[in-house]
C-alpha cells in the first residue's frame, strides 16, 4: 500500500464528571486525510480546507505528531499529507486531536502496523502540545481507540477502553470563541474535598452505568459539581440548553472539551432530535450562529476510507 | 418464623481511591445476632460478648437501627435481640455497621421482607449516627448487599452493586486506637484539583477493573493520593506493610475505614497468606499486638444461620 485515505472522528473530552480523564468518539463530524509515501524524505503538508492552518510540519498538529512517529523509524521515509478539515478548530470537538491521531494512524497502516495503539497515542500527543501547549490524551485516546476511553494516567500512559451501550449524541457548536487557555485559567487550583468526593462518586457511577448498560444510572451520574459551574459561565445559553434538554428526556450532558460546544447523551434517536430542536431554539433566540450534529458513539476510531 | 439467627459481615469502607463511596463485604470476621418476636412491645437488647456495649436501645447502634425500622410499622411489635460481637469495635472493619445492618435484616426476614434493601440501609444508617455522629452508608451498604458497593449519593440514597472477580483479602488489625473523629479531623477540607483528577481517574479505573475482572488494572488503580498520605501517619507500620505486601505480589490495599486495620487485595490465596506473614512480621517487630484475617469477598451480605 502506497497511499491511504482515512476519516478521523471528532471527540468529546472532559466527559462531565470525567474532567481530564474520560472521552468518547463521535461518528460526526470527521476530518478527511490522505497520506502517501514519497521518494523525497521528510514531510510535506497541504490543506484543502479554508482554515489557513500552518503547513510547516513542526507547527502543524498533524505534522508534529507524524514527526514524532518518524523519529522512531530506523530508516528515513518521505510522506505527503493532505488534510481536509471538517471539525472546526476551537469548537471543543477535538479538532487538533483528529488531525494528530488521523495522521499517525494513517502512517502506521502504511508502515504495516508496526506501532501499537498506545504508541500512536504517545506520538499524537505531540500534536496536542503544538495546539494547546499541553500533551493531553483525552481526545487522542478515543479518536484512536474509539468508544469511551478512560485515561487513568498520563505518565505512564494507561488507557482503559470502556464498554458502553448505544448512545445518541446531540451536539451544538455555538459559533463563539472560548480559548482553552482561558477555560483552564478560570479553574480554581484547589477544590472542596466534599465536592471531589461527589465527583468521584459520580464518575464511578458513570463507568458502572456504561459497563452495565444502565441508562438511568448513566443519567444520574452525569453531574459535574467542580468544572462545569465555573466554565459554563463562558458559554451563553448553557444553563438553558442543559435544563430544557434534560427535561425533554436527555440522559444528561455538558461542555465538550473546554467548550464552546455542548453535548447531550440520549438513549434513543427521537429524543436526540428533540434535543437538537431545543438547542437550535436557544441559539436562534440568543442570535448566535450555531451548528448542530445528531450522531452516535463511534466505536472504531479512525477508519480507512480507501 | 418467630426467631432468627444471622451472621453480619465485617466490611471495608473507604476502599483506597473510593473514600466515602466504595466499600466491600468480607467473609470474616462476622457478628452473630439472634432476634425473636416478643409479646411485650418494644425492644430489649442483650450482649453475650465482653465489650460492655450499651444495651439501652436508643444508645445501642443495632437498637437505633431497629427503632428506625419499628417506627415505620403500623402495628407495635416486640423484639428481643441478642448480640455476639466478633468484630472488634474501633477496628475499622465496620463493627457498628454489622450490628446495625444485621439487626434490620433479621427483623425484615421476621416481617416477611416487607422492606427493600435500600430501606434497610436507610434504617441502619441511624445506627451509624449513634456510633460516629454521621449517617454514612459505606459500611452498611456492602454489609446488606454483599460484594463491592458504590454509594453514588447519600441524599437521595443511590447504591450501585459492582461485579468483581474472586479476590483474597488479607487484613491486619493492629491493636491500637484511631478515633474516627480524629481520622476525620486531620483531613484538609480543600484538596488540589490535580490530586482530585488523579483520584477520579483511579476510581474510574478501579470500577472498570472490577467489572472487567482485570486484576492488573485493579492493581494499578489501587492508589489514594488524597486521604491515605494524611491518615496513614496515625497507623504505625503502615508504610512498611504496604510496600512489602505489594512487593510480595498483593494487588494493592490501604486503610480499612478510618483505621487502624490495613487490608490488601490479592488475586490468589497463596499471595494472601504470604501477605499475612509479612503483616505479622511488621507488628511483631514493632511490639504491637495484632490480629490477622485471610478471607474472601462476601457476595451475599448478612446471611441466615438458622
The model carries a pTM of: 0.96
Is the preceding peptide bond at B156 cis, omega within 30 degrees of 0? yes
Mean pLDDT on A28-48? 96
Do residues B35 and B81 lie in contact, with contact meaning Cβ atoms separated by under 8 Å? yes
A205 and B162 within 8 Å at the Cβ level: the answer is: no
Of B152, B196, B226, the CB nearest to A220: B152
For residue A199 the three cell numbers come to: 465527583
Q: Are residues A71 and A175 in the same domain?
A: no
Q: Is A155 on the interface with B (CB under 8 A)?
A: no
Average pLDDT over residues A74-92: 94
- A190: nearest CB among B160, B190, B201: B190
Q: Is B20 in Cβ contact with A160 (below 8 Å)?
A: no
Identify the pLDDT of residue A164.
93
Neighbours of A251 (CB within 10 A): 22
Whether residue A132 sits in one domain with residue A273: no
Confidence of residue B36 (pLDDT cuts 50, 70, 90): very high
Average pLDDT over residues B194-220: 98
Given an 8 Å threshold on Cβ–Cβ distance, is A150 in contact with B205?
Answer: yes
Residues B18 and B143 grouped into a single domain:
yes
Chain A contact present for B24, CB below 8 A: no
**pLDDT confidence tier of residue B183, bands split at 50, 70 and 90:** confident
Question: Which pLDDT value is given to residue A184?
Answer: 80
B265 and B210 fall within a common domain:
yes
Is the preceding omega at residue B29 within 30 degrees of 0, hence cis? yes
**Between chains, do A199 and B202 touch, taking CB under 8 Å as contact?**
no
Q: What is the pLDDT of residue B294?
A: 98
Q: DSSP string of chain A?
A: --EEEEEEEEEE-SBTTBTTTEEEEEEEEEEEEEEEEESSSEEEEEE-SSS----SGGGSHHHHHHHHHHHT-SS--EEEEEEE--S-TTSSS-HHHHHHHHHHHHHHHHTTS-S-HHHHHHHHHHHHHHHHSS---TTHHHHHH-SEEEEEETTTTEEEEE-----EEEEEEES----HHHHHHTS-SEEEHHHHHHHHHHHHHHHHHHHHT-HHHHHHH---SSSHHHHGGGSTTHHHHHHHHHHTT--EEEESTTSS-EEEEESSHHHHHHHHHHHHHHHHHHT--EEEEEEEB-SS-SEE--
> Is residue B248 domain-shared with residue B104, that is, in the same domain?
no
Residue with cell 469495635: B89
> What is the ipTM for the molecules in this complex?
0.95
pLDDT value, residue B116: 97
Mean pLDDT of A215-234: 96
Q: How far is B150 from chain A (nearest CA, A)?
A: 7
Rounded Cα distance, B225 and A193, in Å: 12
Chain B partners within 8 Å of A20 (Cβ) = 197, 201
* pLDDT given at position B184: 80
Chain B residues closer than 8 Å to A205 by CB: 150, 152, 158, 160
Measured between beta carbons, which residues in chain B are less than 8 angstroms from residue A203? 200, 203-204
pLDDT of residue B18: 97
> What is the average per-residue pLDDT within A59-70?
97
Does residue A189 sit in the same domain as residue A88?
no
- In the three-class reduction of DSSP (H, G, I as helix; E, B as strand; rest coil), residue B304 is classed as strand
**Chosen from A20, A152, A192, A252 to mutate, greatest number of chain B CBs within 10 A:** A152
> Looking at residue A16, what is its pLDDT?
98
- Scanning A68-127 for CB atoms below 8 A from B yields none
Q: Does the pLDDT of residue B166 top 80, yes or no?
A: yes
Min Cα–Cα distance to chain B from A13, Å: 14
| B205 Cα to chain A: minimum distance (Å) | 6
Interchain CB contact of B183 with A (< 8 Å)? no
Closest CB to A193: pick one of B17, B191, B220: B191
- In this structure, the answer to whether residues B99 and B141 fall within a common structural domain is yes
State mean pLDDT over B238-249: 98
Q: Are residues B63 and B137 in the same domain?
A: yes
Q: Which domain holds residue B252?
A: 168-296
Let me know whether B121 and B184 are in one domain.
no
The catalytic residues of B are: 128, 180
B31 preceded by a cis bond (ω within 30 of 0): no
Instruction: Give the chain A residue whose CA is nearest to the CA of B138.
Output: A201
* One domain for residues A34 and A125: yes
Q: Is some CB atom of chain A closer than 8 A to the CB atom of B201?
A: yes
User: Which pLDDT belongs to residue B51?
Assistant: 84
Query: Mean per-residue pLDDT for B75-81?
Result: 94
A124 lies in the same domain as A74? yes
Q: Is the pLDDT of residue A91 over 90?
A: yes
Q: Do B193 and A192 touch (CB under 8 A)?
A: no
CB pairs under 8 A between A and B: 124
> pLDDT band for position A51 (50/70/90)?
confident
Residue B133: predicted pLDDT: 83
Q: What is the pLDDT at residue A286?
A: 98
CB contact under 8 A, A158 and B19: no
What is the CATH classification number for the domain harbouring B106? Answer: 3.30.230.10
Q: To the nearest whole number, what is the mean pLDDT of chain A?
A: 96
What is the residue-wise DSSP string for B181-229? HHHHHTS-SEEEHHHHHHHHHHHHHHHHHHHHT-HHHHHHH---SSSHH
**What sign results for the dihedral spanned by CA atoms B239, B244, B247, B253?**
negative
SS3 for B43? strand
Residues 220 through 279 of chain A touching chain B, CB cutoff 8 Å: 220-221, 226
Do B67 and B43 lie in a common domain? Answer: yes
Q: Looking at chain A, which residue has its C-alpha nearest residue B184? A: A193
Give the residue from chain A lying closest to B157, CA to CA: A220
Distance of CA B236 to the CA centre of its chain: 21
Residue of B nearest to A20 (CA): B197
Catalytic residue (one of A34, A128, A223, A276): A128
| Whether pLDDT at B248 is above 90 | yes
Percent of chain B with pLDDT over 70: 100
Judged by CB atoms closer than 8 Å, whether chains meet at B220 and A196 is answered as no
B197 — contact with chain A (CB < 8 Å)?
A: yes
How many domains does chain B contain in total? 2
Residue A180 is a catalytic residue = yes
Catalytic residue, from A11, A149, A170, A180: name it.
A180
State which residue of chain A sits closest to B206, comparing Cα positions: A204
Q: Once rounded to an integer, what is the mean pLDDT over residues B135-143?
A: 94
State the average pLDDT over residues A253-275: 97
Q: Taking 80 as the threshold, does the pLDDT of residue A275 lie above it? A: yes
Q: List CB contacts (< 8 A) between B194 and chain A.
A: 189
Nearest residue on chain B to A214, alpha-carbon basis: B160
CATH number at residue B249: 3.30.70.890
Give A187's contacts in chain B (Cβ within 8 Å).
193
Amino acid at each position: 500500500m502506497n497511499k491511504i485515505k482515512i476519516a478521523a472522528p471528532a471527540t468529546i473530552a472532559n466527559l462531565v464528571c470525567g474532567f481530564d480523564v474520560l472521552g468518547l468518539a463521535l461518528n460526526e463530524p470527521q476530518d478527511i486525510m490522505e497520506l502517501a509515501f514519497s521518494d523525497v524524505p521528510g514531510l510535506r503538508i497541504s490543506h484543502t480546507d479554508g482554515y489557513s492552518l500552518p503547513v510547516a510540519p513542526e507547527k502543524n498538529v498533524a505534522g508534529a505528531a507524524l514527526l514524532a512517529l518518524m523519529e522512531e523509524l530506523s530508516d528515513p521515509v518521505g510522506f505527503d499529507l493532505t488534510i481536509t478539515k471538517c471539525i472546526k478548530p476551537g469548537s471543543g470537538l477535538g479538532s487538533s486531536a483528529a488531525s494528530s491521531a488521523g495522521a499517525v494512524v494513517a502512517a502506521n497502516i502504511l508502515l504495516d502496523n508496526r506501532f501499537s495503539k498506545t504508541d500512536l497515542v504517545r506520538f499524537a500527543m505531540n500534536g496536542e502540545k503544538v495546539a494547546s501547549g499541553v500533551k493531553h490524551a483525552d481526545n487522542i485516546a478515543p479518536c484512536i481507540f474509539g468508544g469511551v476511553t478512560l485515561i487513568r494516567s498520563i505518565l505512564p500512559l494507561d488507557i482503559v477502553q470502556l464498554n458502553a451501550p448505544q448512545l445518541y449524541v446531540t451536539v451544538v457548536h455555538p459559533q463563539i470563541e472560548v480559548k482553552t487557555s482561558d477555560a483552564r485559567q478560570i479553574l480554581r487550583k484547589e477544590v472542596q474535598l466534599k465536592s471531589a468526593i461527589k465527583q468521584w462518586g459520580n464518575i464511578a457511577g458513570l463507568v458502572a452505568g456504561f459497563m452495565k448498560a444502565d441508562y438511568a444510572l448513566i443519567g444520574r451520574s452525569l453531574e459535574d459539581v467542580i468544572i462545569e459551574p465555573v466554565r459554563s459561565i463562558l458559554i451563553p445559553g448553557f444553563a438553558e440548553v442543559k435544563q430544557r434538554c434534560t427535561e425533554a428526556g436527555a440522559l444528561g450532558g455538558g461542555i465538550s472539551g473546554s467548550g464552546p460546544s455542548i453535548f447531550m447523551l440520549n438513549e434513543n434517536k427521537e429524543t436526540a432530535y428533540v434535543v437538537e430542536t431545543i438547542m437550535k431554539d436557544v441559539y436562534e433566540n440568543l442570535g448566535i450562529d450555531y451548528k448542530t450534529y445528531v450522531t452516535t458513539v463511534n466505536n472504531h476510531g479512525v477508519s480507512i476510507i480507501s
